[in-house]
Structure 1
Amino acid sequence: MKLITQTHPTESKLTCANAAFKNKDFELAIVLYEDALKHSKEPIRSNILFNLNLLKKRLGPSPAATKAKPEKRDITNNLVPIKHLEPDFDDSEYWKSVGDDPHFHIKPKQERYFEAGWYQIELLVESSRRTNLAKFYLNYGDGYSEKNTFSLPYNSKKLAKRIVYFKEYCSEIRFDPKESQGRFRVIGLHITPVAVADAEDIMLQEMLSQRTKVKLKDSASYKIQMKFEKRAYSNKFILVEHIFYNYQELFTGRSDSIAYEDWIECIEKPSLPTAEQVNLNIINLSIKPVISVVMPVFNTDEQYLSLCIDSVIAQTYPHWELCIADDASPKPHVRRLLEAYAAKDARIRVVFRKENGHISHASNSALEIAHGEFVALLDHDDALPDYALYFIALAINANPDAQFFYSDEDKLDQNGARFEPNFKSDWNPDLFYSQNYVSHLGVYRRELLNRINGFRPGVEGSQDQDLLLRCLPHVRHDQIIHVPRVLYHWRMVEGSTALASGEKSYTMNAGVKALQDYFLTVNPRISVEPGQVPNTYRVRWPLPESPPLVSLLIPTRDRRALTETCVRSIIDRSTYTNYEILILDNGSVESETLEFFEQIQKEDRRVRVLRYDCPFNYSAINNFGVLHARGVVIGLVNNDIEVISPEWLTEMLSHAIRPDIGCVGAKLYYSNDTLQHGGVVCGIGGVAGHSHKYFARSNTGYFSRLFLTQTMSAVTAACLLVRRDVYEKVGGLDETNLKIAFNDVDFCLKVREAGYRNLWTPYAELYHYESISRGIEDTLAKQERFGGEVEFMQKKWGDLLKIDPYYSPNLTKDREDFSITSSDHV
């Protein structure tokens, strides 16, 4: 210490401590850090604590304690139930989770029980679900938050463990044993302190054992790779922080993975027929089509090519042929392998192209040798589950007039594990224009493909989307059938779009070209441009040369500030100008509000104020407004709306005037920039709920759906455009049965029933300060009225509320987050 202070006479104690640390005088560094800690403040204090803990753990226990092992802290019986938990009275050792957020509090047995440092968590739980995710929230004195959370995935009755780091003294812990309902018991829960060197070794060993699942995130990756390869590296004190940073990747995102594993085990597998049932059903099929599986091949890895072909051979439906076109692969194993398979099974047919022509030409070569009534498309390194063609055959029999079938899909990692399922919408034209969500498994009637001359060269990278686009003029919407089962596995290998869309950046340009060429045959004024995320597109629909008048109806009562913000944001920020604003005054009495009404009508002649002096009835007020509107397009707008994007009205109007479109909805945010409305999904909460509610504004949503124009069953009337003739055709809003709630859902379902598609666009962005003026259902009368409206909707629409064609039955109806349905609710 004397040497350092003489060398650095003007520097602080913290600088001296850092110097001692650097010079590896660790005992001196501890003394200096502890002294500096007495007078430090955040964020320096946290840094000191981190370094101090590293030093203490590295030096190990004091000589007096060298024989003592770290205390294994058993807190199994120290759990205090807080929420969504009930004891199981049939067995006192078990608990019942009665909600989606069950949790305990762990109170320390003594003061300073969980000091800053490294710990190993060991958890053993018996649960009604096979796979689960536990979460631990650490309270450092300022409450619980997501930033101080650790996750631990586990299987029922199997020990799970992981390393965690407490950055400072932890006063208590919240323990969430699972994220679903069900029965469980905590057999064992231990939180044991470990030395930093041991923590480092445990983390590296686990990362090595799961190397293919780890994505190293920063420049420390090189040093970690050196450790993997047992080479020397320096400065372990700094490196352990980077190791932990990457170690976390083993646990992030596991919630969705666990939910999918549970879905496979508890929902998919029980739904699959036995071999005897399959054979009996096939015998009884009235149509037994031959399905030609078309597969272009080029230089495929031998292992993956074999796995791909084997997945076809394993099909439980026997009436298939595999048509392979090798696109002049230079690697010798390709021909050898293909010839061997063709010799083994007569249903496998191979053509060897003399020159490389890329995927479209190769696919056409495979099509030329196909004889089946239907054609299924398969990439050379992917795989089909063994029941894929069986379920396609069932769908063909159920829909004998159909021209095209597509299924759900998922991905395979390099170990063959399934993940990231894409549970799709039924046929959704605008979603397809925005993204090739259809993708795999795609099965076409062969006559249809012959009619359009197969694949088109020049759009490689988006050849599948181009193929379906060119089929659309020859196919009715009801002839496109979605099979809501996972019948295709994309393999996540280097160079595959399953791994990362950025690996094939040329697909974006090919997709734009395919869409532009298609829309040239529909309307040459329609334009296409890249979307906001890779491999998505924005289609701009034109307005007529004489833009139509839009009547924007705004019901209100007093609340001048709220209404004025809404009205002035429309006037000041909207690029589309041919509109009128009808303020529907439902009994305003405040002088400042009445003053604003008079003032705004003088300022802008497009604004009119109409009195509606009747009890509040949202449906009746808007129906009254339509009677006095002059526009050919009606806009229903809440008074708590504020415009964000200047093109909001242009965008919504461009869709509303399309002859096949009914209601058009906008993307609405709360004031904190979380999502309020991303379209309406029927069945959520018993009637309907908002898609992706509370997601961050930047979140792309489920397979980018928050950034894609798409058909939805309904949209909110907080900001809705519809043609006047459509409004009147379905009788407007129901002012008798739905005075307050669900009138917009009911209206949209009537519009859909009349043959129109309701559409939601992410390119019309507005704030929605929801229910500020009307308030919440806080009285008995309001609650009884709301309950009556729920009952009316369920009675009127029945199964249409249970089955939303634009939302997968494999996704939850309990929440609005597009998460996978739980086996506890099946």
Structure 2
Amino acid sequence: MTTSNPGESSTQYGALSSAADQVGCLSAASFWTPDYFAGSAWHEHAPFAFWLTAAIGPRVFVELGEHPGFSYLVFCQAVQRLQLSARCYAIDTWRGEAQAGLTNEAVLEALLRSHVARYEVFSRLIRARSDEARDGFEDGTIDLLHIDGHRGYEDVRAEYANWLPKLSSRAVVLFHNTLIQRDDSGVGRLWRELSERHAAFGFEHGQGLGVLCPTNVPAPLQALFDADEPARAAIRAAYARLGAAVAAQFAFEKAEAALLEHHGDALPHGPESDRIAELEQALSEARADFEGARKRLASARADHSMTQASLARMRNELGALQGSVMWRAFSVARKVASRVPPSTRANLRRAARMLWWAATPHRIPARLQFLRMRAAQRTVSGPVIALGNRSYFEFLPTPGEGQSDAVPEGVYQIGQSSGGYVYVPKRRPDDIERRIAAMTRRPTFSIVVPLYNTDDYLFRRMAGSVLAQWYPHWELILVDDKSPDASVRERAARLDDPRVRLIALDQNQGISGATNRGLEQAQGDYIVFLDHDDELTDDCLYELAQSIEAEDPDYVYSDEDKIMPDGRFAQPFYKPDWSPDTLMSTMFTCHVSCVRRSLLDRVGHLRSEFDGAQDWDFVLRVTEQTRRIAHVPKVLYHWRVIPQSVASDLNAKPYAIDAARRARLDALERRGLIGEVEAVPTLPGYFRVKYDVQGTPLVSIIIPSKNNGDVLKRCVDSILARTSYPAFEVVVMDNGSSERSTLACLDALRAIRNVRVIPHDFPFNYSEINNVGARESKGEILLFLNDDTEVISGDWIERLAGYAQLDHVGAVGAKLLYPGTRQIQHCGILNLADGPGHAMLRGDADTPGYFDRNLLEYDWMAVTGACLMVERGKFEAAGGFDESLPIAYNDVDLCFRLIELGYFNVVSPAVELYHYESLSRGQDGESEAKRRRLVQERQRLYRKHPRFLMNDPFHNPNLAPNDVYFSLP
């Protein structure tokens, strides 16, 4: 960064900055220093970002592709320093881009620390894909949009098009990385296309920055876009030098920190010393440039000659406009319009639009098609994905004699919806071949389909869905299980593709036997299971391949939906990530199911004795052999509902229900566990696992309480009267009670054999008092319980402890009800976009909920500390409760840490208690002080666990981001 002649360089820069200032593109903001640094080519654009924010004063700023956060916090710093009434939003998954590499969670953690400390009043980090976040913004509201990141041309073009309606009439759009020429960066290509059609200005330093005004140019930027080439060169050179000074500052601070860390107080010698001296010299020059530029700026402001000249030029342009023929011709219309009420003006605009349509008849068909699409979209609840550009039928063989291409009445039509849900095929990317070629792993998939008397139309739909795959590396193995209908084999034999193979069995072997024959012939790296009447989505194998590329899993599953008998799409199952306890309750992985062939060979094939639940038994065995399990949170499979199918009614095939029960009993035996698979009374056809307690471990029930004698007595009385498990102790932590009635209650409790009262007269800190209780207790299993609870289920300890003793389980929770009702207070905690919240709050306790989550044992992100059981060893390994979270989110924090240690948190809905909810200390939202405290503790929670900011692996990103009832967006 040093120059051979600093004086000459400074003089040259002075001339450049003076020229830039004369055009009106420098201000005091251009010389600000960023408060936050992170490794980024955006360092060099910070001066322009400061100036731009000051110039246009955006009301809403959005950044897409946030990553380390330097650019975003530069804009936040400008908003704060200028005291603008603005809202700022950074949108990113913080999981990284395939082209740029995975983002380390430490990057997000550093960003959170700086963001929360400075800007959270007006700024929000949104952890989502840009298409997911878009609908949260109203049309015409965004004044400044920054698109960053390394993405392909099709992706960035679609992103720009999707966000275009959200831009205001004076919006400015920034594109970073416009000079990167790699194939995986489409920003530059899009920028070059757009800059030919709109007002644009491009910088050539810092990997390139494009400034675009898609509609109108804000007045402060007019001079920037009107500048001639010499002035443009001066602006670019001035900001390049200012940006270089910021980059030098970052390099200096980074080198200085590294040297201090390495050497401590000792002075470095040799090359390191030379490097630090070089950086100091560069920084000194940059500061000199700053100082000289500030002086020239003050001088330029004193001289208003350029401003006056600009005003004179605008007056001349206005005069020329007002003297034009068009202006005079419409003078009468303007006078009339100024006297017309707004409603009448709107009618006149509509009439003018109709006249324009009539005058351009050649465009009528396109406009009518547009209106039909808009009308169709208005009937759909939630975002509508762009239509695919191909039909499955393009890939199907020509029908034989007597067969028809017509879609049977009432059968699946693309785009039909049910219950507010719509599935529309994804658009095939134009560069799909390049994307696939860029993968380091390109697995071959063996798709195995057992056939038996398969309906002609359904066969063609199934086969066509495979032939339509974007991803080309597959083989389709069709196994005809000796169908009585000979046309099944004939249709299969007519499929003209070298990747399709037909195996014709000599005798019927059932679904497992037929599938196994296909598995024996499979040559692919992964096996994909497909039923003969179901369909894959066009992008199914491509998405599976992407998951394999990113995670190298042994087993992959996806979301799914159903095709109803009348052809509508319905019942989308947006699933949680891998959840072992959920799989013992319900076959949630189901479709699409994909397993590494080498693992399948080790585990064994399907077992005929479990026909009807053969896939459930298989997945139970597979997931016992690996933890490398991936979930693609996208619908990749359409499960067809036909009469007398399990897809339509679980009870349609009683033998399947029995097979499912036996498959889980077999899993228990195989795993060396003792328990029973019992029917769920309120959910016919479903079963849950009740694990036996191993031995008779002592369970310590820890109950903090203060001046709450009557409530505490009800809680302890219910424990003593209703608990069937014999080995427990009650440890009451008295937090300095002083009321006479409570002291009398505590004295009475001390007289009970297995109840202890431990005084702890310190300011209330839920985490601390429970940690002390854990240390004072004697049990192998800890049960943290609020004093405002009341036991309902007599076998509550056995059920909770049966799960708590499982090697993979961390915390176990119960279903808590509002007193005297069947309304849910707790059945699991979701970690949603606005923070942790109780699922299905105040819902009916006996209603199944979203895919039976209210009645079956599911794994959850967290369980409430009002009733939380955990083995002592796991509790201590997690570090106990965090005492810096004295009131709220301490239970959630503990559950987060258990997940980070590899455990799963589960709720047993068969265990019920009443919860009088916060009788002891009141609600957190009842005063401004408590609300502030709640926000502060939530901020601390996510600073500790940035991986879980707006991320709940046991929820699903396709569901509404802030709805505790699992609704669609």
Bin for the TM-score computed over the shorter chain: 0.5 to 0.7
Distance 2:378 2:658 in 1: 46
Aligned residue runs from structure 1 range 296-335, under 5 A? 296-335=450-489
Name the counterpart of 1:513.
662
Distance 2:846 2:902 in 1: 34
Q: 2:891 aligns with which of 744, 754, 762?
A: 744
The residue identity in structure 2 corresponding to 1:798 is: P
Q: Return the offset for 1:273.
A: 5.7
Distance 1:346 1:702 in 2: 43
Distance 1:676 1:562 in 2: 18
Name the counterpart of 2:901.
754
Name the counterpart of 1:284.
438
* Over 4 Å off, 4+ runs: 86-90, 154-161, 178-182, 210-213
CA contact (8 A) 2:860 2:907 kept: yes
Q: Return the offset for 1:487.
A: 0.6
| Structure 1 residues 89 and 711: CA distance shift in structure 2, 3 A | closer
CA contact (8 A) 1:552 1:634 kept: yes
Name the counterpart of 1:681.
830
| Structure 1 residues 312 and 274: CA distance shift in structure 2, 3 A | closer
1:422 aligns with 2:573: yes
Q: Return the offset for 1:553.
A: 1.1
1:445 aligns with 2:592: no
1:257 aligns with 2:406: no
SS in 2 for 1:793: helix
For structure 2, the residue ranges without an aligned partner over 5 or more in a row are 1-136, 142-165, 167-371, 385-407
Aligned residue runs from structure 1 range 37-76, under 5 A? none
Q: Return the offset for 1:181.
A: 12
CA contact (8 A) 1:285 1:397 kept: yes
CA contact (8 A) 2:417 2:570 kept: no
Distance 1:363 1:433 in 2: 24
The structure with more strand, counted as a fraction of residues: 1
Distance 1:89 1:358 in 2: 59
Distance 1:664 1:358 in 2: 40
1:244-282 C-alpha deviation (Å, 9 max, x unpaired): xxxxxxxxxx99821x33xx46xxx6xx56342222111
Q: Return the offset for 1:88.
A: 11
CA contact (8 A) 1:684 1:816 kept: no
SS in 2 for 1:398: helix
Q: Return the offset for 1:803.
A: 1.6
1:692-749 C-alpha deviation (Å, 9 max, x unpaired): 222201111111121222222211100001122222232221222x111101001111
| Structure 1 residues 674 and 179: CA distance shift in structure 2, 3 A | farther
Distance 1:300 1:616 in 2: 68
1:383 aligns with 2:535: yes
Distance 1:495 1:644 in 2: 39
| Structure 1 residues 549 and 506: CA distance shift in structure 2, 3 A | same
Distance 2:931 2:660 in 1: 50
Distance 1:256 1:566 in 2: 47
Q: Return the offset for 1:569.
A: 0.9
Name the counterpart of 2:449.
295
SS in 1 for 2:787: coil
CA root-mean-square deviation: 2.8
Distance 2:612 2:428 in 1: 38
Distance 1:535 1:295 in 2: 27
Q: Return the offset for 1:534.
A: 4.5
CA contact (8 A) 1:665 1:761 kept: yes
The residue identity in structure 2 corresponding to 1:448 is: L
Q: Return the offset for 1:684.
A: 4.4
| Structure 1 residues 755 and 290: CA distance shift in structure 2, 3 A | closer
Q: Return the offset for 1:291.
A: 0.8
1:636 aligns with 2:784: yes
Distance 2:410 2:703 in 1: 56
| Structure 1 residues 669 and 684: CA distance shift in structure 2, 3 A | farther
The residue identity in structure 2 corresponding to 1:752 is: I
Q: 1:372 aligns with which of 524, 528, 550?
A: 524
CA contact (8 A) 1:431 1:709 kept: yes
Aligned residue runs from structure 1 range 771-786, under 5 A? 771-776=918-923, 777-786=925-934
1:501 aligns with 2:657: no
The residue identity in structure 2 corresponding to 1:371 is: Q
| Structure 1 residues 378 and 157: CA distance shift in structure 2, 3 A | closer
CA contact (8 A) 2:475 2:524 kept: yes
CA contact (8 A) 1:690 1:816 kept: yes
Name the counterpart of 1:339.
493
Name the counterpart of 1:600.
749
Name the counterpart of 1:569.
718
Q: Return the offset for 1:754.
A: 2.5
1:390-432 C-alpha deviation (Å, 9 max, x unpaired): 11111122223x2111111000123432111111111111111
CA contact (8 A) 2:692 2:798 kept: no
Distance 1:437 1:597 in 2: 48
| Structure 1 residues 335 and 424: CA distance shift in structure 2, 3 A | same
CA contact (8 A) 1:294 1:363 kept: yes
SS in 2 for 1:739: coil
| Structure 1 residues 674 and 659: CA distance shift in structure 2, 3 A | same
Q: Return the offset for 1:524.
A: 5.0
CA contact (8 A) 2:833 2:951 kept: no
Name the counterpart of 1:556.
705
Name the counterpart of 1:670.
818
| Structure 1 residues 158 and 420: CA distance shift in structure 2, 3 A | closer
Distance 2:457 2:506 in 1: 24
Q: Return the offset for 1:530.
A: 3.6
Q: Which structure has the greater CA radius of gyration? A: 2
Q: 1:618 aligns with which of 766, 774, 779?
A: 766
CA contact (8 A) 1:383 1:489 kept: yes
The residue identity in structure 1 corresponding to 2:623 is: L
CA contact (8 A) 2:558 2:631 kept: yes
Distance 2:746 2:418 in 1: 51
CA contact (8 A) 2:410 2:567 kept: no
1:83-127 C-alpha deviation (Å, 9 max, x unpaired): xxx99999xxxxx9xxxxxxxxxxxxxxxxxxxxxxxxxxxxxxx
Q: 1:657 aligns with which of 801, 805, 819?
A: 805
| Structure 1 residues 754 and 290: CA distance shift in structure 2, 3 A | closer
SS in 2 for 1:458: helix
Distance 1:509 1:718 in 2: 37
1:409 aligns with 2:560: yes
| Structure 1 residues 318 and 156: CA distance shift in structure 2, 3 A | closer
| Structure 1 residues 426 and 181: CA distance shift in structure 2, 3 A | closer
CA contact (8 A) 1:324 1:366 kept: yes
CA contact (8 A) 2:417 2:568 kept: no
Distance 1:449 1:425 in 2: 23
| Structure 1 residues 453 and 608: CA distance shift in structure 2, 3 A | closer
Distance 2:656 2:625 in 1: 25
CA contact (8 A) 1:308 1:384 kept: yes
The residue identity in structure 2 corresponding to 1:377 is: F
The alignment of Structure 1 onto Structure 2 pairs a total of residues equal to 574
Distance 1:324 1:87 in 2: 50
CA contact (8 A) 2:612 2:655 kept: yes
SS in 1 for 2:870: strand
CA contact (8 A) 1:413 1:491 kept: yes
Distance 1:371 1:358 in 2: 22
1:322-356 C-alpha deviation (Å, 9 max, x unpaired): 11111111123212212222xx2222111111221
Name the counterpart of 1:695.
843
1:480-539 C-alpha deviation (Å, 9 max, x unpaired): 111111110001111222111121221111012112222212115233334443453322
Q: 2:612 aligns with which of 438, 461, 468?
A: 461
Q: Return the offset for 1:543.
A: 1.6
The residue identity in structure 2 corresponding to 1:466 is: D
Aligned residue runs from structure 1 range 710-729, under 5 A? 710-729=858-877
The residue identity in structure 2 corresponding to 1:552 is: I
Q: 2:740 aligns with which of 591, 607, 621?
A: 591
SS in 2 for 1:783: helix
SS in 2 for 1:521: helix
- The TM-score, its normalising length taken from structure 1, stands at 0.66
